[in-house]
Amino acid sequence: MTDLAYLPATEALRLFRSRELSPVELMTAVIERAEAVEPRVNALSERTFEEALLQAKQAERAYRDGSPRPLEGLPVAAKDEQPIAGRLATDGSLAHATHVAEETHPVVERVLAAGGIIHARTTTPEFCCAAFTHSRLWGLTRNPWNLDYSPGGSSGGSGAALASGTATLATGSDIGGSIRLPASATGTVGYKPPYGRVPAMPPFNLDHYCHDGPMARTVADCALLQNVIVGPHPGDVVSLRPAVRVPDRLGDVTGLRIAYAPNLGDWEIEPGIAANTRAVADALAAAGAIVEEVEVGLRRADVMRAAFIHFGTIFGPMVATVAAEHGDRLTRYALAFAAETRAAAERDGFLAGLEMEAAIYAVIGALLDRYDALICPTTGAPALRAGEDYVDTKLTVNGVELDHYMEYSLTTVFNVASRCPVLNVPSGRAASGVPTGVQIVGRSYDDATVFQVGAAIERVRPWTSRPEAL
């Protein structure tokens, strides 16, 4: 049998049902793995292992009685940003170190109702406002594939937990790439659902850049968790009716027209990532898709400007409010984020930002009118260096120094085009050993197609889940 700590969720459920594996055995393996690797990785902000083992025994009884729920007995790590009533809700900040949540996030609510066991919560950068994961509250989270690198952010703890075998499934959230960037950097699968597909909590449920979604090690596992958390919720007015679920049978791309974009415009793309993206395109052609190379023609400066205006009207002011009272307790990167985004909003104004967003989506919308899906790199460079906050240091990609480190990411385009579903799957490895990723972008609200494409890539070009570094 596969190392239990890396057992796919779908396989674990099959073995639970056949009584060949107990939820207690799986939970024990995951806990033992966490105890072995966490001192080096530091992906878990909170552990409730004793409680999880008791719940695993209850799950064992559910299988014996023939009444298991969809996630019965699976160890699920929840992103710390998603609150659980009665538990700490810190946002990764010393300023909120003693805050206790009064409500439970709808995603966590649904995981628990489906029998998933929240055995741990996962680290984030402070206020989830960075593409790396370290904070003054929790310290430095490292990439299991190469400990000198970050697992990405802001769902970096979730990605690192999956890659290090300390969770079977994990939850994430994405406002500028915060699911896809960690998935890319850790060799895992992460899904940014289209806006409104998965319920969230106010006020950020009303921010069309914001998405909560699933993370896993396989496409089928990601679909499994997505199908549990999807659907309307009475606390979220923008959550969509009816619930649209990913089909069980995945991987047939015969005849699908897929646009292959080596670049979305003028992003710097390192040769290794370009080669890995090309290999994914070739794999899809081998799987029966009609793959055509396209030029998208966006400018990264326009995307960054639109995003910073947007952040400066909603997300940035939230951070700035905390900074006004607790500035000496905040990280430099959170203070810089608040200042930079507020300046962008004050300089250009919300209307200008919306006009720029419309122009960006016009390009993506026209392209997806001609193709069933689009594939492109998730980032232009592999994972960021662990512990670097890029406040004083510039990031160089492909020999070019970027104005802002987030310009290495191609994810934010699809927070602007927020109704497009996007699935990250692994595309290969960089010379550093760190994984790279590819984004599969679908037409607005066409969830099924991106999972079909992802499953086809996985079948033709499978990836390994376990890092050699641990």
Catalytic residues: 79, 154, 178
Q: Are 232 and 199 in contact (CB under 8 A)?
A: yes
Using CB atoms within 10 A of its CB, is residue 392 exposed (0-12), middle (13-18) or buried (19+)? exposed
Q: Establish whether the linkage from the previous residue to 242 is cis, with ω within 30° of 0.
A: yes
Q: Are 421 and 193 in contact (CB under 8 A)?
A: yes
Long-range contacts of 367-370 (CB under 8 A, 24+ apart): 367/259, 367/294, 367/296, 368/259, 368/420, 368/441, 368/442, 368/443, 368/444, 369/443, 370/257, 370/259
CA 288/CA 175 separation, integer angstroms: 33
CA 336/CA 130 separation, integer angstroms: 10
CA 219/CA 221 separation, integer angstroms: 5
CA 78/CA 121 separation, integer angstroms: 5
Strands 373-377 and 257-260: parallel
374: amino acid identity, one letter: L
C-alpha triplet 283, 284, 289: angle, nearest 5°: 145
CA 299/CA 184 separation, integer angstroms: 22
CA 295/CA 139 separation, integer angstroms: 41
Q: Are 253 and 452 in contact (CB under 8 A)?
A: yes
User: Three-state DSSP class for 309?
Assistant: helix
Residue of 166, 145, 147, 157 whose CA lies nearest to 36: 166
Neighbouring residues of 57: CB distance < 8 A, sequence distance ≥ 6: 23, 24
